Amino acid sequence: MGKGFHFARNFEARLYLLGGYDYIKNTGDGVSGDDDSGNLAYIIGAGARLAVNIYYPVQLLAGLEANTLFGEDLQYKINRLDIGDDRAGVSFYVGLRICF
């Protein structure tokens, strides 16, 4: 859910809230009798994005986003460390968007 503000015909600033879940599926090795279960954690966050129209239909955008996890169990944390990926924290992104 977000709200964008357009100004000077070529700029957009957007504030947004997000929510969702992250699911990690545990695949058994087939030998030790492990089941194909999974672990779940919920994500909430907020962010801000600035977009600049370069030339229609291309936009340059940059944003800052902060996420936090809750409801995760110990096995979820262990699996996340094995993957080497952390969903919580602050992230910055830059990209191009093509609008149709």
Q: How many domains does the chain have?
A: 1
Q: Taking residues 14-33, what's their average pLDDT?
A: 76
- On whether residue 66 sits in a domain, the answer given is no
pLDDT of 30 above 60? no
| Strand ranges of the sheet holding 58-70, from the earlier edge strand across to the other edge | 2-7, 11-25, 38-55, 58-70, 89-98
From the number of C-beta atoms within 10 Å of its C-beta (0-12, 13-18, 19+), residue 51 rates as buried
pLDDT attached to residue 31: 54
- The single-letter DSSP state of residue 30 is S
Nearest partner of 62 among 97, 16, 98, judged by Cα = 97
- On whether residue 97 sits in a domain, the answer given is no
* 57 vs 26: which has the higher pLDDT: 57
Which structural domain range is residue 19 located in?
1-61
Express each pLDDT in 32-91 by its tens digit: 555 556 778 888 999 999 999 999 899 999 999 999 988 877 777 777 777 766 778 899
- On whether residue 86 sits in a domain, the answer given is no
- On whether residue 18 sits in a domain, the answer given is yes
Indicate the pLDDT class of residue 92, thresholds 50, 70 and 90. very high
